[in-house]
Amino acid sequence: MTQRTVIPLIVAHRGASHDVPENTHAAIDEAWRLGADAVEIDVRLTRDRQIVAIHDADTSRTSGQLLTVAENDYELLSQLDVGRWKSAAHAGEQIPHLRDILDRLPAQKQLLVELKCGEEITEPLVAELAARENLQQQVVIIGFDAMLVSGVKRKIPSLSALLCVRAVDAGENRWSSVAVERLIDAAHHLGLDGVDLDAAIPIDVAAVQQLHAANLSCHFWTVDDPEQAIALREVGVDGLTTNRPGWLREQLEWKQHRLP
């Protein structure tokens, strides 16, 4: 097999979340500083219909205080310290609003927005992104809820949209051609642009080529192991989501330079 010489897009998982508190401005800024091609964030809707970056349905893990995101207004949620749990150096980090993250999105970079709640987020999210036509080519909507992701894509066709799929849904111990054919059918039916697959099981070059032949991109999450990243690079995947964007790129570049 011909070895791939291009490193896939490096996507920072919740920002540079290995060292910096996830889904915060600090984590996102650090990811850009480290040269990430894209940042992935999780978003939810507050009671007063504000779109915020947070993974969990409540704030207990990252703030030590139990507030359910959907049952509280942004004004209260934004007062929580969601940085101290990671380190004292990041004390005072707040739950960021999507609009502020978009305001700070560098040119030529991508923002992957994972939808972590339900249909209630569609209208405010579409309104936010429709007003930012200049950024629509940089925003990628992702999620496990196929109908939700597809619904946003239908309302703003210029957005890219990827379906996230867990390894257990493959029904096998690898992303085989059979599993990929099912994904292709689903993605085409939903009008999506690609898939974001669980790296817990491998994929081979034939399956990646199937996706590309169907005009679908192929991304993988979450990849923090350099050997796994190299294997995915060699079969031609388009993007790797990682908690360690700078370090993983360095590992891939180092390994690439050592190839005969």
Q: Could you read off the pLDDT of 192-243 as tens digits, one per residue? A: 999 999 999 999 999 999 999 999 999 999 999 999 999 999 999 999 999 9
- What average pLDDT does the segment 4-23 reach? 92
pLDDT confidence of residue 257: 53
Residue 259 confidence (pLDDT) above 90: no
What residue segments make up the domains of the chain, in order of their start? 9-41+111-258
Alpha-carbon torsion (6, 169, 121, 101), positive or negative: negative
Average pLDDT score, the chain: 96
pLDDT confidence of residue 69: 99
Q: Could you read off the pLDDT of 37-65 as tens digits, one per residue? A: 999 999 999 999 999 999 999 999 999 99
Contact 110, 135 (CB under 8 A): no
pLDDT confidence of residue 5: 58
Residue 2 confidence (pLDDT) above 70: no
Cα 201 to Cα 74, 119, 141, 154, 196: the distances in Å are 38, 30, 23, 31, 13
Confidence of residue 254 (pLDDT cuts 50, 70, 90): confident
3-state secondary structure 9-65: EEEEECCCCCCCCCCCHHHHHHHHHCCCCEEEEEEEECCCCCEEECCCCECHHHHCC
Residue 4 confidence (pLDDT) above 80: no
222 prior amide bond cis, ω within 30:
yes
Fold of 9-41+111-258: TIM Barrel (3.20.20)
